[in-house]
């Protein structure tokens, strides 16, 4: 049998070239592996929870507020709303609870509403409150946005079933001034219609309000109970209207509208529930609403309500 030496030589050269190329790649991996290992992965929205807990337990109000966007809004457990990162920092710096209570946090669920908008529910357990040593459980709804690769809280609301607002040693914290929102002038009338209809539905048939929510909506009531889905929300509305807000009429004011995405808006609202047949004080709630545009109709995707509780004077 005759072997063509040129053909065999070509095969040998190609084999050697492949071997050398593979060897070079392996060498590059070994050289640059330490460099690659030093590059941190992009933090997800759940990392904000870790940062919040660390800042709280270190009594670092600046680090706590740094997890929020510059124009964020935040509702505390007593239903008072603050606007802007600096004000959120200032309020926590003056809070006795912030400087004495130890907290453990846990992310309950993270849902992406858009590539750069996330909905997150976080559970808190507070211990060490000098006003009452018993642990207290809170639940917070957070809406986060990704700006330049960093997740920050655009809006958040905290809630708990435990009322310690009137106990001795409570720091008085009230609303901060509502900022202007000229950029949302077009969106606001559409969002206001949603809450006008919500009031009308509540005043006629409270459970019918559930129709204003998306099928997969999240709702946290004033007792920090979390349900998901329109059917569950309908059941919760039925229970609320038969107990805490029995025979009370709703009137909602829109405090702020903030557009996060072409189809995602955050609204801060305050609703006063009054009973015309009695002289009892109205029940006032501050609310966070995430409103989304589905098939050219605005619907509520997430909600949390917190009772505005009386606090010490001064």
Contact 84, 179 (CB under 8 A): yes
The answer to whether position 249 is within a domain reads yes
CA distance 196 to 8: 84
Is 130 found in the same domain as 186? no
Rg for the chain (alpha carbons), in Å? 27
Is 108 found in the same domain as 204? no
pTM given for the model? 0.84
Q: What is the mean pLDDT of the chain?
A: 88
Is 152 found in the same domain as 187? no
How many structural domains are present in the chain? 2
Is 291 found in the same domain as 196? yes
Is 155 found in the same domain as 52? yes
The answer to whether position 25 is within a domain reads no
Residues 6+ apart with CB under 8 A from 228: 216, 217, 218, 219
CA distance 75 to 271: 14
Locus of tokens 């929020």:
68
The answer to whether position 177 is within a domain reads no
The answer to whether position 110 is within a domain reads yes
Is 186 found in the same domain as 146? no
Contact 100, 128 (CB under 8 A): yes
Is 203 found in the same domain as 276? yes
- What pLDDT score was predicted for residue 63? 97
Is 188 found in the same domain as 150? no
Q: How do residues 52-101 score in pLDDT, each as one tens digit?
A: 999 999 999 999 999 999 999 999 999 999 999 999 999 999 888 999 99
The answer to whether position 1 is within a domain reads no
Alpha helices by DSSP H, 127-226? 187-204
Is 303 found in the same domain as 187? yes
> Residue 274: which domain range?
182-307
The answer to whether position 29 is within a domain reads no
CA distance 253 to 276: 19
Q: Does the pLDDT value for residue 33 go beyond 60?
A: no
CA distance 103 to 69: 22
The answer to whether position 12 is within a domain reads no
Instruction: List, as own/partner pairs, every contact residues 221-230 make where C-beta atoms lie below 8 angstroms and the sequence separation is at least 24, other chains included.
Output: 221/305, 222/159, 222/285, 222/305, 222/306, 222/307, 223/159, 223/161, 224/137, 224/138, 224/139, 224/159, 224/160, 224/161, 225/161, 226/108, 226/121, 226/139
> Smallest Cα–Cα separation from 84: which of 175, 171, 193?
175
The answer to whether position 38 is within a domain reads no
Is 210 found in the same domain as 112? no
Q: What is the CATH number of the domain that holds 78?
A: 3.10.450.50
CA distance 296 to 60: 43
Q: Euclidean distance between the first and final Cα of the chain, in Å?
A: 107
Q: How do residues 280-309 score in pLDDT, each as one tens digit?
A: 789 999 999 999 999 999 999 999 999 999
The average pLDDT across 35-39 equals: 40
């Amino acid at each position: 049998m005759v072997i063509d030496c040129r053909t065999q030589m070509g095969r040998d050269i190609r084999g050697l070239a492949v071997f050398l190329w593979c060897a070079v790649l392996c060498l590059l991996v070994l050289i640059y592996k330490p460099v690659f290992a030093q590059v941190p992965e992009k933090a997800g929205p759940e990392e904000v929870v870790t940062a919040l807990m660390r800042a709280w337990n270190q009594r670092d109000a600046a680090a706590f507020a740094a997890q929020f966007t510059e124009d964020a809004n935040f509702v505390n457990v007593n239903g008072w709303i603050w606007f802007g990162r600096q004000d959120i920092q200032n309020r926590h710096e003056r809070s006795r609870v912030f400087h004495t209570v130890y907290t453990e946090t846990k992310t309950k669920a993270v849902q992406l509403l858009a590539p750069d908008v996330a909905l997150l529910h976080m559970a808190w357990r507070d211990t060490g409150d000098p006003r009452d040593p018993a642990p207290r459980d809170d639940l917070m709804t957070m809406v986060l946005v990704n700006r330049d690769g960093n997740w920050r809280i655009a809006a958040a609301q905290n809630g708990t079933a435990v009322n310690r607002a009137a106990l001795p040693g409570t720091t008085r914290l009230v609303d901060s001034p509502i900022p202007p929102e000229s950029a949302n002038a077009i969106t606001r009338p559409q969002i206001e219609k949603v809450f006008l209809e919500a009031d009308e539905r509540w005043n006629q048939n409270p459970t019918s309000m559930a129709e204003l929510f998306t099928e997969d909506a999240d709702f946290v009531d004033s007792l920090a109970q979390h349900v998901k889905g329109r059917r569950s929300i309908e059941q919760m509305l039925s229970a609320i209207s038969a107990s805490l807000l029995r025979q009370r009429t709703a009137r909602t004011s829109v405090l702020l509208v903030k557009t996060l995405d072409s189809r995602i808006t955050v609204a801060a609202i305050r609703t006063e529930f009054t009973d015309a047949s009695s002289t009892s004080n109205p029940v006032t709630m501050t609310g966070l609403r995430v409103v989304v545009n589905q098939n050219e109709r605005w619907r509520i995707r997430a909600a949390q309500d917190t009772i505005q509780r009386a606090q010490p004077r001064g």
